[in-house]
Structure 1
């Protein structure tokens, strides 16, 4: 799932406590058990994107999302994908000095990603890793 995220934002700390787990085993257990469906809504609010767009990015169909809401939790794969995007969003907020800057950066085309918005590029694990590398470069003053 990548490096631990420093949850410097109140939104991150309260909306995604799983990412602050001290031990990797805690995070693994949480993902295996399934995230509460509230995490999807927290991520949608954090990113300020429509539910349909977020569902597409995390690979959940509208009918599956509806079923999961009734059940109350996501399955392991869905949970992992939601946390992947949450981790990137929180890192972007930290690196880009705020939620508004992060929302803009995540949703606008990025030359370093072939013109694709980082949020769309992160719909796969390799894509998310590349977005994370790009954020690390930005954090270190290496603009691409």
Structure 2
């Protein structure tokens, strides 16, 4: 896990901080560290999330920006392809082994490793699944915000645990089993919406 954090940091320190995520992200340091490429951020068309690399160890992501992005903007991002390093960022944020995330999303390990080394873009199909995870985490964060329980709540870690739970609504299946297709991710999003409505009922 520490190596994944180190790799993500190294990628972010290049001059092309914003290019390596192919316009899908705006990267910046937290207040204790010098901002990375802040001037270039304002010129990027697709700014989906802020990935903040903490002064010492942590990587945090504002996943709410994933959830808030409009359908057309998401289509543009997916078609362009997000950088394979985003898989590392998600794995660190979700506190789960990268191998498990790759398997859950139905991605090919060798392909992800190769593209991560090259800081290359994922295919549109791969990007769709990876961005979809970010949107689901963002949905959970928004739900927590609306309920007033978001303080100290880690939506990414919660998602990593929740999607391993067998659910009656899925006939005993786990949300994780649906994460390897865009259609399955839509089903998980609808399920989260139903859970939220049940809380307020």
The CA distance in 2 between the partners of 1:94 and 1:106, in whole Å, is: 17
Unaligned runs of 5+ in 2: 1-48, 53-59, 145-149
Q: Matches of residues 39-58 of structure 1 in structure 2 within 5 Å?
A: 39-58=86-105
> Would you say the 8 A contact 1:34–1:74 is kept in 2?
yes
The CA distance in 2 between the partners of 1:19 and 1:39, in whole Å, is: 16
Structure with a larger share of its residues in strand: 2
The CA distance in 2 between the partners of 1:137 and 1:108, in whole Å, is: 16
Aligned equivalent of 2:138:
90
> Would you say the 8 A contact 1:57–1:119 is kept in 2?
yes
Instruction: Flag the 1:79–1:122 CA change in 2: closer, same or farther, 3 A.
Output: same
Q: CA-atom RMSD, angstroms?
A: 2.7
> Would you say the 8 A contact 1:18–1:30 is kept in 2?
no
Aligned equivalent of 2:78:
31
> Would you say the 8 A contact 1:12–1:90 is kept in 2?
no
Instruction: Flag the 1:139–1:12 CA change in 2: closer, same or farther, 3 A.
Output: farther
> Would you say the 8 A contact 1:93–1:102 is kept in 2?
no
Segments of 4+ in structure 1 off by > 3 A?
A: 15-21, 100-103
> Would you say the 8 A contact 1:95–1:138 is kept in 2?
no
Structure with a larger share of its residues in helix: 1
Q: Matches of residues 1-144 of structure 1 in structure 2 within 5 Å?
A: 11-13=60-62, 20-21=68-69, 23-72=70-119, 73-95=121-143, 97=150, 98-99=153-154, 100-141=157-198
Task: Compute the TM-score of the two structures, normalised by the length of structure 2.
Answer: 0.56
Task: Compute the TM-score of the two structures, normalised by the length of structure 1.
Answer: 0.74
Name which one, 1 or 2, has greater alpha-carbon Rg.
Answer: 2
RCO higher in structure (CA 8 A, sep ≥6): 1
Unaligned runs of 5+ in 1: 1-6
After the TM superposition, which of the residue ranges 68-77 and 95-104 deviates more from structure 2? 95-104
